[in-house]
Amino acid sequence: MQRVYIYRKYVRLWHWVQAGSILALIISGLMIHFPAATGAFSLHPAVNAHHLAAAVLLLNGLLGLFFYITTGEIRQLSIQLRGMLESAVAQARYYTQGIFKGAPYPFEKTPARRLNPLQRITYIAVMFFLLPLQVVSGSLLWLGGHQYIALPPELTLTGLSLAHTLAAWLFCSFLLMHIYLTTTGRTPLANIQAMVTGWEENGHAPGQKGGHADG
Amino acid sequence: MLKRTILAISMLLCLALPVHASPMHPRISLLDSEGNNVLESGAAVSPLNTCGACHDSSFITDTSFHAWLGLGNYGIAPGTPGYQALDPVTYSYPLAQAGQDPGSIRGWLRNQGWRHPGLAGDALYSGDCNYEYNCFLCHIATPDNLTRRDVVTNGDFGSAAQATLAKTGIVTRDPAGWAFDPRAFNPDGTVSAATLGITNPSAANCGQCHGPVHLGDSPFTLDVGNIPVTLSRTGEVFSPKRPVDSGLNLQGKAGLTAPWDIHAARLLKCSDCHFAGNDPAATNRADPGAPRHLSVEARGMSLGEYLKAPDHSLARGYGSIPAPGGFTVGNMRRCGDCHDAAHSHGWLPFTELHLDSLSCEACHIPRLNAPARSMTDWTMLKAPSTPQAEYRGIAGPLGDPLSLITGYQPALVRRDLPDGTRRYGPANLHAAWLWVSGEQARPVPLDLLNEALFFAGKHHPRLVNALDIDGDHRLSGTELQLVTEDAVQAVASRLTAVGVDSPRIEAMLRPYGIHHGAVSGRHAIKECAQCHGEGSRLATTVALASYIPGGVVPEQPVTGHRLLTGVTVTTAVGGLAYSLTATDPGIYLAGFHRWPLIDLLGGLLFVLVVCGVGVHAALRIAARRKPGGGH
């Protein structure tokens, strides 16, 4: 059993702030979208909480982007096209078959390469498509709603809300999958603990090539 | 010290003055139509000659739309059916539609004239009616409007002004007619302003016709025999008092502690917002074309000039019913002219959007604590000139003091104004049915309707024969509802018999805007779910009528600025309702506007993920339990 320092302090802080704000956004968003289902709560604080959480998410996202670019951590998301398909298939095969048979984890996890191929693809989709769609539609809803900007006629609040709602559902599904896959580590809570302490026990489980950092 | 002394003296002077009468107004010579003192001539008083001795009565009547009600172009677009100019609550329609023959005009004045202060100019002498514009009605403290109404409905138009003075002690009425009491006059033949009670128009003056205005010490009650027109239209009450202190059988009365109208409680009167067109105290804002650094136009007319020729085109909003053309609309003092809503509503999410999308009344008139008409059926009258009517906001008959007044929450209706603003505001939806005639679909005059339906004060025998179901030789209850073809034909035949050209039933739907009865912020609506929830007020269904006369379903209103974005629906019991839909593309109501397909697909995806995760986790656990399996 080898202890590896996988997550730097800022990465952990960034992750948990992001997690907290997304959770707050989902809960307050559900309260806004389904006010009758959360009748005990008023819409007013839900809206304020939603805006506050969005502001935290946005600020944290920008700071994170700055950090990832200036420290080179952005390379965690880099994809080498050559062999990408094979890697992704191998990872998928592990999740669908190997994990049930105690097969070795297909990739070794190191501080410089924490993400498995499927994670990279998923995170790229989330960070460069889903999150921008959510942030841009939400920001335009906020800016247009407050009349800080004049929205073009074809970009109505109603249309923006459609995009925002669609992205929110996708986010919910992603979040559930993300949380579940954190349990596929050496123990069900190992990956969560790693994201708290930064340290992960790596590479010594029977039949495993390396530690897990799924999610 | 000097300031305090001046203040104390001023207050004492104010207390010493009569409450109503203007202390500065000089003595008045009451003149007849020939310009002679009425004490000498004994003729009826002429308000225009009397007041015109000092004030420019021609200017006043020319500028007063009150003097022109019923006349001229009513702002109805060409080709619009004539009945659309009708106010279906009062059956008031433009005098111009009554035709130009004297008989029609006299009939119109008997039925509708009391609602108007009188006529002026050439119209005054149309049909030899001599129904003169009545300054006393609005400018004395104790006008006797009931007596005036009585003489007008009896066709004695020339005595209307005299009757208005019945409570002043100046004039008395005996079987021989009206007479002036010399004891009320000064030795020089004049009367003092105090005796006449000359005053600025108070809310009570306006309330005589527009009502209900309740300013007295007694508890507010409803005179079911004389329901004020505004109450019928909307349930609005202008009073500084509180519903909890009223004499009404109100639901939840103990909790109704907000004044009927916060502006009345703050001592505002109607003319504070509906001011005279050239009132220097109210109209000193710079014109829109003035230099930008000027917000006030200091070069107003002097008080003397104003009193000589006060512009009587009183500032007003955009009415729910057609108004005579040629007069300025939308120039009244609005909420934003006195209140800085943006400043005081900072707590409200998306403040500007809310203020731009909703009228102030939408939240500040949360409920009407009085009944209001939901339908009026003029196709078959209960008694002469008395339609069948249904009310919302009351459980039981209107005339029964035991009926519980539940009040009602008004619908929120879109209002597109000429200044480009579009806001949702409260309105009472009202449906009406009436008989129309001729190619232009004009309302059948009330006199003709009465003549067709009644004989010697009772329903016409032919109608009784045709419509009496229970065999009691009189018509009552559902027998008065024209819901079968035979019933419609029976009445149509009677109308034809009295000379109505091709009578037919038309229906109209009219949202009456609600602007009075406002409450302070403490009592205003703050529950977002009223609009943002599934049962949003912008998409509610409003019951209109328990039956549909002639089976005629009203179309969308074609007059006014309120736009109903919904559909009429017939109820399971044969009634009519209106289903509002918030389909305006410019409006987005979080919590109400959903995307069923998006929610379905998104929810489905989420459930699939949950299932996938569940199955995967179960398989992992099962694999782990196998000997040698798992990690």
Residue B558 has pLDDT above 80, yes or no: no
Q: Binning pLDDT at 50, 70 and 90, where does residue B127 land?
A: low
Chain A residues whose beta carbon lies within 8 Å of the beta carbon of residue B629:
100-102
Please state the rounded mean pLDDT for residues B404-433: 92
- Please give the DSSP secondary-structure letter assigned to residue A103: P
% of chain B at pLDDT higher than 90: 55
Q: Which residue of A has its CA nearest to B356?
A: A147
Distance in angstroms (rounded) separating the CA atoms of residues B330 and B317: 4
Chain B residues whose beta carbon lies within 8 Å of the beta carbon of residue A34:
591
Task: Report pLDDT digits (tens) over B274-322.
Answer: 999 888 888 777 676 778 788 777 777 888 999 999 999 888 888 766 6
- A25, A31, A33: best to mutate for the B interface, most B CBs within 10 A: A33
**Which helix (H) or strand (E) is A201 found in, with range?**
strand A199-202
B606/A contact by beta carbon, under 8 A: yes
Residue A173 has pLDDT above 50, yes or no: yes
* Structure-block tokens of residue B253: 């009365």
Residue A153 has pLDDT above 50, yes or no: yes
Q: Binning pLDDT at 50, 70 and 90, where does residue B11 land?
A: very low
Residue B479 has pLDDT above 90, yes or no: yes
Q: Which residue of A has its CA nearest to B620?
A: A100
What angle is formed at CA B179 by the lines to CA B173 and CA B184, rounded to 5 degrees? 105
B386 CA to chain A: closest CA distance, Å?
A: 45
Q: The dihedral of CA A79, A82, A88, A91: what is its sign?
A: negative
Residue A210 has pLDDT above 50, yes or no: no
Please state the rounded mean pLDDT for residues B111-128: 73
Identify the structural domains of chain A with CATH numbers, from first to last: 2-202 (1.20.950.20)
**Which helix (H) or strand (E) is B377 found in, with range?**
strand B372-377
Please state the rounded mean pLDDT for residues B323-327: 65
Q: Which residue of B has its CA nearest to A160?
A: B588
A65 CA to chain B: closest CA distance, Å?
A: 29
Chain B residues whose beta carbon lies within 8 Å of the beta carbon of residue A176:
606, 609-610, 613
Distance in angstroms (rounded) separating the CA atoms of residues B21 and B555: 49
Please give the pLDDT value at position B79.
66
Please state the rounded mean pLDDT for residues B351-370: 94
Contacts 24+ apart (CB under 8 A), B35-43: B37/B189, B38/B180, B39/B180, B39/B182, B39/B185, B39/B189, B40/B189, B42/B179, B42/B180
B153 CA to chain A: closest CA distance, Å?
A: 55
Residue B629 has pLDDT above 60, yes or no: no
Could you say which of B349, B526, B585 has the minimum Cβ distance to residue A158?
B585
Amino acid at site B17: L
Distance in angstroms (rounded) separating the CA atoms of residues B357 and B514: 16
Closest CA to B134 of B154, B158, B167: B158
Q: Where are the domains of chain B?
A: 220-276+326-444+500-594, 596-631
Task: Report pLDDT digits (tens) over B71-97.
Answer: 655 555 666 777 887 889 988 876 665
% of chain B at pLDDT higher than 70: 89
Residue B628 has pLDDT above 80, yes or no: no
Please give the pLDDT value at position A103.
85
Q: Which residue of A has its CA nearest to B625?
A: A100
Q: CA torsion, points B247, B251, B255, B257, in degrees to nearest 10?
A: -40
CB–CB of B586 and A156 under 8 A?
yes
Amino acid at site B624: R
ipTM > 0.95, yes or no? no
Q: Which residue of B has its CA nearest to A148?
A: B352
Please state the rounded mean pLDDT for residues B394-402: 88
Query: Comparing B228 with B522, which gets the higher pLDDT?
Result: B522
B355/A contact by beta carbon, under 8 A: no
B125/A contact by beta carbon, under 8 A: no
Interface residues from chain A to B (CB-CB < 8 Å) = 32-36, 39, 42-44, 47-48, 51, 95, 99-102, 145-147, 156-158, 161-162, 165-166, 168-170, 172-173, 176-177, 180, 183-184, 186, 205-208
Pair type for strands B422-437 and B372-377: parallel
Pair B276, B60: CB distance under 8 Å: no
Burial code (b: 16+ CB inside 10 Å, e: under 16) for B439-471 equals: eebbbbbbbbbbbbbbeeeebbeebbebbbeee
Please state the rounded mean pLDDT for residues A189-194: 91
Of A78-92, A194-208, B488-502, least confident by mean pLDDT is A194-208
- B581, B595, B597, B607: best to mutate for the A interface, most A CBs within 10 A: B595
Residue B145 has pLDDT above 90, yes or no: yes
Question: How many other CB atoms are found less than 10 A from the CB of residue A81?
Answer: 6
Beta bridge partners of B28: B191
Please state the rounded mean pLDDT for residues B523-531: 89
Side-chain half-sphere exposure of B187, counting CA atoms within 13 A: 0
Could you say which of B353, B585, B605 has the minimum Cβ distance to residue A146?
B353
- Please give the DSSP secondary-structure letter assigned to residue B429: E
Task: Report pLDDT digits (tens) over A124-151.
Answer: 899 889 999 999 999 999 998 888 888 8
Question: How many other CB atoms are found less than 10 A from the CB of residue B176?
Answer: 6
Q: Binning pLDDT at 50, 70 and 90, where does residue A105 land?
A: confident
Distance in angstroms (rounded) separating the CA atoms of residues A77 and A114: 9
What value does the mean pLDDT of chain A take?
Answer: 86
Q: Burial-class residue B375 by CB neighbours within 10 Å (0-12, 13-18, 19+).
A: buried
Q: What is the pTM of this model?
A: 0.84
% of chain A at pLDDT higher than 90: 45
Side-chain half-sphere exposure of B473, counting CA atoms within 13 A: 0
Please state the rounded mean pLDDT for residues B90-116: 71
